[in-house]
């Protein structure tokens, strides 16, 4: 489990346990939820449609055996049900926002009843944009609920009528893999629900989503040229696990994500010129497009690297990168090369000749 999130969560539970620190605990929880939601935003906005229904760990035991789409659906259906039907006793966001129709989901349940290939088939049907909007609305609505809850309510429990209301809502399947949820939630007090569906449950599933996403990126990069259009090495990039490279559909390179079609201007320009990369372009030294935008911190180092590739080729470039990364991390390497593109080129040449 992500150590940072896990530690923060432990601190939150300690703060929530005492009246004097309860409000600080809620504030920290909302902050942690925002931080984790950022991961969902990046995934929902960055990856191609097929990424959401693939199961790269289909036979594994654990949450990473699911899909990205299922994970988002499951986290926020549970939260919506618990926050609204159980705690606030009002209408769920899925109903108010008519999200089932917008998302195209064949079910309104938590999805616990779905197994194996059923999860992939279910995931294929979902409209990811609408699913993301739903998740965001549920997250914000729960944040409001959390801010309104008082310390005195923490020990409030639930009764048989709460169980009946949940069962009647039809939001929990009668399947043996799902029906235990009603007892599980109703046997907790409000503090117990904050501890699981509103925090720990997120951590476990978002962690699993990261594993799925990293594996999909790794698979996408197999056999793909590791040199980016701008001259950066995807093999050495700090975003290597997060980004599938600009030569795949799993491109979440910083400049690409600024554009609706996720295509970096350098990549677009190279394909218009029908060249392999900016290192084949005569305008390289004076170019200010995309990654080479003058106010981009990485522009000079990327240009230096592209100039090196033009002179010595990709094989030499990757060898030099290997050597540099034995001593420096990605950020330091880019800093060294980025003072000035000509100086950066000299550093690379020096490294190559020694």
124 binds ligand SF4 (CB under 6 A): no
The only residue of 232, 307, 320, 337 in contact with ligand SF4, by rule CB under 6 A: 232
Cα gap 239→218, rounded to integer Å: 12
Decide if 182 contacts 72 (C-beta within 8 A).
no
Widest CA span in the chain: 78
Instruction: Collect all residues with Cβ–Cβ distance below 8 Å to 234 and sequence separation of at least 6.
Output: 221, 226, 227, 228, 240, 243, 245, 246, 247
The smaller minimum CB distance to ligand SF4, of residues 243 and 337, is found at 243
329 binds ligand SF4 (CB under 6 A): no
Helix ranges (H only) for 222-298 are 265-273
The answer to whether residue 194 forms part of the interface with ligand SF4 (CB under 6 A) is: no
User: Using CA atoms, how far apart are residues 281 and 123, in angstroms rounded to an integer?
Assistant: 42
Measured distance CA(135)–CA(76) in Å, rounded: 6
CB–CB of 241/209 below 8 Å?
no
CB of 273 to ligand SF4, least distance (A): 5
Which DSSP letter does residue 298 get? T
**Structure token digits, residue 296:** 């981009």
Residue 269 CB, nearest approach to ligand SF4 (Å): 3
Distances (CA, A) of 234 to 120, 228, 252: 30, 6, 12
Among 25, 240, 298, 344, the residue binding ligand SF4 under the rule CB under 6 A is 240
User: Judged by CB under 6 A, which of 86, 234, 304, 336 binds ligand SF4?
Assistant: 234
By beta-carbon proximity to ligand SF4, the closer residue of 276 and 349 is 276
Exactly one of 107, 140, 224, 239 binds ligand SF4 (CB under 6 A); that residue is 239
Query: Residues 248, 220: contact at Cβ < 8 Å?
Result: yes
Residues in the interface with ligand SF4 (CB under 6 A) total: 22
Residue number, 187 or 254, with CB nearest to ligand SF4: 254
List binders of ligand SF4 among 283-302 (CB under 6 A): 283-284, 287, 289-290
From the list 11-19, 88-96, 97-105, 267-275, the region that binds ligand SF4 by CB under 6 A is 267-275
H or E stretch covering 337 = helix 330-337
Stretch that binds ligand SF4, among 134-142, 160-168, 194-202, 226-234 (CB under 6 A): 226-234
Q: Is there binding between residue 181 and ligand SF4 (CB under 6 A)?
A: no
Of 162 and 225, which has the nearer Cβ to ligand SF4?
225
DSSP 234: T
Q: Is 253 in the site for ligand SF4 (CB under 6 A)?
A: yes
228 scored as a contact of ligand SF4 (CB under 6 A)? yes
Of the candidates 227, 276, 279, 272, which has an alpha carbon nearest to the alpha carbon of residue 253? Answer: 227
**Closest of 194, 76, 205, 48 to residue 135, by C-alpha:** 76
**Shortest distance in whole angstroms from residue 316 CB to ligand SF4:** 18
Among 92-100, 101-109, 196-204, 282-290, which window interacts with ligand SF4 (CB under 6 A)? 282-290
Among the residue ranges 76-84, 140-148, 192-200, 227-235, the one whose residues contact ligand SF4 (CB under 6 A) = 227-235
How far apart, in whole angstroms, are the C-alpha atoms of residue 38 and residue 52? 17
Residues in touch with ligand SF4 (CB under 6 A): 228, 232, 234, 237, 239-240, 243, 245-246, 251, 253, 266, 269-270, 273, 278, 281, 283-284, 287, 289-290
């Amino acid at each position: 489990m992500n150590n940072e999130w896990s530690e923060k969560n432990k601190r939150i539970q300690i703060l929530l346990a005492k009246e004097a620190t309860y409000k600080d605990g809620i504030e920290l929880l909302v902050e942690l939820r925002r931080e984790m939601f950022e991961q969902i935003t990046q995934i929902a906005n960055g990856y191609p449609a097929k990424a959401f229904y693939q199961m790269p760990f289909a036979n594994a035991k654990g949450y990473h055996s699911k899909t990205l789409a299922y994970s988002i659906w499951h986290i926020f259906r549970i939260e919506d049900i618990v926050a609204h039907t159980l705690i606030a006793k009002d209408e769920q966001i899925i109903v108010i926002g008519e999200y089932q129709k917008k998302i195209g989901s064949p079910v309104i349940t938590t999805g616990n009843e779905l197994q194996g290939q059923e999860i992939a088939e279910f995931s294929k049907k979902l409209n990811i944009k609408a699913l993301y909007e739903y998740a965001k609305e549920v997250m914000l609505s729960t944040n409001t609920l959390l801010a309104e809850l008082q310390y005195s309510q923490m020990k409030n429990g639930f009764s048989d009528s709460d169980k009946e209301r949940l069962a009647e809502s039809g939001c929990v399947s009668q399947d043996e893999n799902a029906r235990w949820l009603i007892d599980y939630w109703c046997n907790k007090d409000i503090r117990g629900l904050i501890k699981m569906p509103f925090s720990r449950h997120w951590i476990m599933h978002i962690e699993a989503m990261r594993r799925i996403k990293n594996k999909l990126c790794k698979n996408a990069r197999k056999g793909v040229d590791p040199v980016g259009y701008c001259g950066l090495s995807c093999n050495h990039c700090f975003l290597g696990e997060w980004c599938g490279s600009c030569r795949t559909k799993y491109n979440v390179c910083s400049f690409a994500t600024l554009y609706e079609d996720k295509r970096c201007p350098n990549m677009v320009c190279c394909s218009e010129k029908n060249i392999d990369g900016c290192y084949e372009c005569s305008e390289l030294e004076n170019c200010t497009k995309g990654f080479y935008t003058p106010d981009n911190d990485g522009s000079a180092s990327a240009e230096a690297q592209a100039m090196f590739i033009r002179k010595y080729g990709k094989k030499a470039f990757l060898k030099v990168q290997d050597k540099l990364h034995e001593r420096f991390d990605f950020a330091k390497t880019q800093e060294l090369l980025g003072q000035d593109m000509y100086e950066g080129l000299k550093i690379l040449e020096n490294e190559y000749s020694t």
